[in-house]
Amino acid sequence: MATIVAPLEHSAAEDAQAIREAVKGWGTDKDALISILAHRYYHQRNEIRKAYQHLYEEDLIRRLESELKGSFEGAIYRWIPEPADRDALLANIALRKGKFNHRVIVEVSCARHPEEFLAAKRAYFLHYRHSMEEDVASHTTGALRKLMVALVGVYRYDGDEIDEELAVSEAETLHYFIEENAFGHDEIIRIVSTRSKKQLLATINRYKDNHGTSITKTLARIADNVVADALYAAIGCLTDQTKYYEKVLRNALHNRTDEDALTRVIVTQAERYLWHIKDLYYRRNSERLEEAVAKETRGHYEDFLLALLGNHN
């Protein structure tokens, strides 16, 4: 369930004109930008961007890049594009930074519907002239490369059918190789990268029933192993996104604020499941997510995130 508050009807031309007024002159009216952009769904933002291009013959995102800076600029830059373009952007940023961010690639490939991920891969190729698969392969090695290329290369079946016998068998396969610390084994990669979300969930439930602990808890306890962490993220995104993203937010806010992760979750989930993530966050931390964000962020960056979280500003 989405958290943003947006009008059902709006004038893209009027919004574009208001944004133009906000960026004219020496200063930028950031409050005006938030009042518009944080309260428009992605198709409305796309209409505004087209209207702005038509009226002023310049790209809205490029103009805002030149007007804004810091965390606020980064959040706006990630918010305005439609979802497929945003996912392509997030993947490219994760790949072009000095340190490969496998969590971002896992989220883009595993947390989306198969058609959404396919659209993101098409957008990635359109914008960067390489396939996501080849860029992921060029930034990874060994077992991590095998896992990541498998995750970005698959078109995952999205049906409801479950084979319970297969779930029993593959739960034992996962348990055996994880106990052996063989996180990059071909069988683990095959199961996690090819099974439908419903089938994998049945397998993960069987794993917990048979061994008294969840596979994600087992993987989370393994320190300093990037492949185990990538598996943890993949299984979390595929089987319980709300739980996965709540933990990402908790870690981002409680351990020297990770603004990249904080921005990424709120921006990508504000039109999807952020309401449920907020609810789980409160139940697990006895604190509203809005309160935690307000404590750890400042200025217009704070105001923008709070607006996406549902504040009426």
* Token reading at 288: 């509203």
The residues, ordered by sequence, that sit 6+ positions from 20 with a Cβ below 8 Å of its Cβ are: 52, 55, 56
Please give the annotated binding residues, written as ranges: 25, 27, 67, 294, 296-297, 302
Question: What CA–CA distance (Å, rounded) separates 29 from 32?
Answer: 5
Question: What CA–CA distance (Å, rounded) separates 298 from 300?
Answer: 7
Per-block mean pLDDT, blocks of 10 residues, the chain (313 long):
90 98 91 97 97 97 95 97 97 87 97 97 97 96 97 95 98 97 97 97 98 95 95 98 97 91 98 97 97 97 98 62
Q: Supply the pLDDT for residue 157.
A: 94
Question: What CA–CA distance (Å, rounded) separates 189 from 268?
Answer: 26
Q: Which of 114, 118, 131, 50 is nearest to 84 (CA)?
A: 118
CB of 65 closer than 8 Å to CB of 73: yes
Q: Supply the pLDDT for residue 27.
A: 84
Please give the annotated binding residues for Ca(2+), written as ranges: 25, 27, 67, 294, 296-297, 302
CB of 119 closer than 8 Å to CB of 126: no
Question: What CA–CA distance (Å, rounded) separates 121 from 108?
Answer: 10
Model pTM above 0.85: yes
Alpha helices in the chain (DSSP H): 12-23, 30-37, 42-56, 60-67, 70-79, 83-96, 102-110, 114-128, 132-138, 142-153, 164-179, 186-194, 197-211, 215-220, 226-239, 241-254, 259-269, 274-285, 289-296, 299-308
